Amino acid sequence: MRLLFIICEAGIDARVIDALSRVGVSGHTRFTGATGSGRHGPREGTPVWPGLNSLVLACTPDDLVPDVLEGLERLQAERNGRLALKVFSVPAEEYS
């Protein structure tokens, strides 16, 4: 099992969640209004640094991770790679 941390532009978080659902990832947690800075510059939700991010967490079986990444790569391709979208993955164990 893997825990995916998906950081994306706030305007596409619904599409990220849809991409997860399409490949069989049944649950997620979404944090909205996240601020930060990365390769695409600062996003602070201010007039000087407009824009916000969302963080989507999803646990998925190891074998679904390539399908998730493929779906997210399609989103990137729509914007010629200029979409603020980053995925991190760590091993996960469920205890409850």
The verdict on residue 96 lying in a domain is no
Q: What is the pTM of this model?
A: 0.91
> Which domain covers residue 18, as residue numbers?
2-91
The verdict on residue 64 lying in a domain is yes
| Amino acid letter, 26 | S
Q: What is the pLDDT of residues 66-85, one digit of tens each?
A: 999 999 999 999 888 788 89
The verdict on residue 73 lying in a domain is yes
The verdict on residue 24 lying in a domain is yes
CATH number at residue 56: 3.30.70.120
- Mark out the alpha helices in 4-64 (DSSP H runs): 13-22
Total domain count, the chain: 1
Helix (H) / strand (E) containing 67: helix 65-78
Q: What is the pLDDT of residues 18-68, one digit of tens each?
A: 999 999 998 999 999 999 988 888 999 999 999 999 999 999 999 999 999
Tokens 């679904």 belong to residue: 64
